[in-house]
Amino acid sequence: MGTAVSTAKETDGSVMAALRSPKRLRIEILAGLVVALALIPEAISFSIIAGVDPRVGLFASFTMAVTISIVGGRRAMISAATGAIALVIAPVAKQYGLDYLIATVILAGVLQIVLSVIGVARLMRFIPRSVMVGFVNALAILIFAAQIPHLLGVPWLVYPMVALGIAIMVLLPKLSNVVPAPLVAIVLLTAATIVFSLNVPNVGDEGDLPSSLPSWLIPDVPFTFETLGIIAPYALAMALVGLLESLMTAKLVDDITDTHSDKTREGWGQGVANVVTGFFGGMGGCAMIGQTMINVKESGARTRISTFLAGVFLLILVVGLGDIVALIPMAALVAVMIMVSVGTMDWHSLAPKTLRRMPIAETTVMLVTVVITVVSHNLAYGVIAGVLTAMVAFAHRVAHFTEVEKIGDADTDHDGDFDTRVYKVHGELFFASSNDLIYQFDYVDDPRNVVIDMSDAHIWDASTVATLDAITTKYESKGKNVEIVGLNEASEQRHGRLSGHLAGGH
């Protein structure tokens, strides 16, 4: 049974297997077409955010999708121009112009390659599940919020068209999966708009579509340290935001498809794609969660073919069939993105039953991630805030696991007076849990010999060693001796290396 499942997964993700399977190939081709159609208004919108010509965003989406389909580590994931990247690089375009923006994109790509090679992708293991859930829910909210401007101040016909598009995508899969429901909705609504000459907003209203192919471009900037000083901060920010968003999206697709992807390869693949994009005059980008969900979840794509064709179809549509594409009603694309939003949201995490069962700290982490992301419109900020909140919550929780137990008097002197007091420390000792340790001993009334048994504890950092030194010093100032026993090997090494060398540490 395990072999059969494994084989099926490999077949789903293999390009050669897909080429030999007419059914799988049809799914990949149609998925690529749907994604390409959905990419057009998004790329134009992100170009406007970045303050550049729509062609810069469209060419970026084409080169990113095609390049990442070859070098990326996550099959079926879509990379293109994104809002997060647009927000980061917008100041460069505004203050210094397009050439400096292109130079920033190229440098960001190089930085992504370097960061990935040195292992930044491995940091993904430190992102808790609550942050992932918050990331997904915030993304669903942002995708839906992005559609609201297309629903305000528009002809009344837009609303029934959006409703019809949603109905098609809900009902059609119950009858047949031969053609992706989003594609059917787009084609039918576009046909209705043309046949009945409906006066509704369309893709052409979003901006001019390019009429020529992208060409090789070397940014016209001085190759000096002054230029590097201008673009480096923006390039580093773009590199980090792009990597974080891409690796989070890759992990989400891993969960949806129940497969594993090479995060390090995905990281440097994003870098290569941004370098290529820069040299073709694109604004750069990263993984697109919304389009990825259309590709993987709505259309059922599983291979690199869909990603590659999304880029190819995008170029064909905007350059070769721009006049037709311009007629696609925005209502159709809004309906598609609303369905993506609904499908992306983790509704189980919001159910009252789940919230009652979930620890308050976990729910808080999720909410912080959602709120920061939605307010800033930047997924990277939300994830960073969520991780920091989770760290604080974890430290607070673990800090309460430390306990000092007074276990009795081991010996008495010849007069029968107590000579030795024994304390036993339980728990994990680090900066959050060891700071209160110093207050749990009776320095005044304890006898002249004190034994601190650490056999049920573990020392994790220098703060704990400094605290133990402070305890010893307090006892010695009152003429008493302290012996620390029971340290495990790792704790013994850390204590022996640092004890006595942390003056002023407590």
314-350 pLDDT, tens digit each: 999 988 888 888 898 999 988 988 888 888 788 988 9
Alpha-carbon separation of residue 398 from 392, 394, 431, 434, 463 (angstroms): 10, 6, 11, 11, 15
Q: How many CA atoms lie within 13 A of 431 on its CB side?
A: 8
What structural domains and CATH numbers belong to the chain?
17-395 (no CATH), 403-498 (3.30.750.24)
Distance CA 444, CA 448 (A): 10
Say if residues 242 and 89 touch (Cβ distance below 8 Å): no
For residue 3, pLDDT over 80 is answered with no
Which pLDDT score, from 0 to 100, does residue 112 have? 96
- pLDDT tens for residues 90-105? 889 889 999 999 999 9
Mean pLDDT across 169-175: 90
Neighbour-count burial of 102, counting CB atoms closer than 10 A to its CB (0-12 exposed, 13-18 middle, 19+ buried): buried
- Which pTM does this prediction carry? 0.73
Q: What is the pLDDT of residues 218-275, one digit of tens each?
A: 999 999 999 999 999 999 989 988 998 899 899 889 988 989 999 999 999 999 999 9
Q: Give me the pLDDT at residue 411, please.
A: 55
Cα→Cα distances 100→53, 234, 276, 370, 424, Å: 15, 11, 16, 33, 63
Mean pLDDT of 428-435: 82
Give the tens place of pLDDT for each residue, 182-207: 888 999 999 999 999 999 999 888 87
Over pLDDT 90: what percentage of the chain?
49
Strand positions, DSSP E, 257-330: 286-287
Which are the contacts of 453, defined by CB distance < 8 A and separation ≥ 6?
407, 422, 423, 424, 425, 485, 486
pLDDT confidence of residue 117: 93
In terms of DSSP H, where are the helices of 258-296?
Answer: 263-279, 289-293
Q: Give mean pLDDT, residues 29-39.
A: 92
How far apart CA 32 and CA 48 sit, in angstroms, is 24
Count other C-beta atoms under 10 Å from residue 316's C-beta: 16
3-state class percentages of the chain: helix first, strand second, coil last, to nearest 5: 70, 10, 25
Average pLDDT over every residue of 138-148: 86
